[in-house]
Amino acid sequence: MSLKAFHIVFVAASVMLCLVLGAWAYGRYQQAGIVADLGWSIGSFAAAVGLIGYGWYFLRKLKNISYL
């Protein structure tokens, strides 16, 4: 597996982490009502979207490099 393929795995794991963190922060907001937790949750979901966009850009930029 090349660095290109491993990087895609890494970006996918990072997106999952951002989604988990976003859901966790939203749960905390619902429980304790702290507005900062809501901002944290929105920020985490936005980071997940940003990482998906970056992954798309990365695949296009390195389309000539092997996955092996």
* Residue 67 binds other proteins (CB under 8 A): no
Q: How many residues bind other proteins (CB under 8 A)?
A: 27
Q: Is 58 left (phi over 0), alpha (psi -120 to 50) or beta?
A: alpha
Cα–chain-centroid distance for residue 34?
23
**Per-residue binder mask for other proteins (CB under 8 A), 8-47, x = binder:** -xx--xx--x--xx--x------xxxx-----x------x
Rounded to the nearest 5 percent, the helix, strand and coil shares of the chain are 85, 0, 15
Residues that bind other proteins (CB under 8 A): 1-4, 6-7, 9-10, 13-14, 17, 20-21, 24, 31-34, 40, 47, 51, 54, 58, 61-62, 65, 68
